[in-house]
Amino acid sequence: MLYPFYFDDTYILILAAAAFSMWASWRVNSTYNEYYKVQSRKGVTAAEAARLILENNGIYDVQILRTQGRLTDRFVPSKKVIYLSDYDSTSIASIGVAAHECGHAIQYASGYMPLRLSQAISPLCAMGSNLGIPILFVGIIFSLTGLIDLGIILFSLGFVISVITLPVEYNASNRALAILEQYHILTEDELTGTKKVLRAAGMTYVAAAAASLASLLRLLILTRRNDD
Supply the residues annotated as catalytic: 101
In angstroms, the CA 187 to CA 19 distance is 35
Q: How far is CA 185 from the centre of its chain?
A: 25
In angstroms, the CA 93 to CA 66 distance is 16
Contact criterion met (CB below 8 Å) for 61 and 77? no
Whole-Å CA distances, 198 to 100, 119, 156, 213:
8, 22, 28, 23
User: 3-state class of 80 per DSSP?
Assistant: coil
In angstroms, the CA 76 to CA 111 distance is 15
Q: Look at residues 12, 171, 166, 26 and name the one whose alpha carbon lies nearest to residue 104.
A: 171
Output the DSSP codes for 7-63: --TTHHHHHHHHHHHHHHHHHHHHHHHHHHTSB-TT---HHHHHHHHHHHTT--S-E
Biggest CA-to-CA distance, the chain: 67
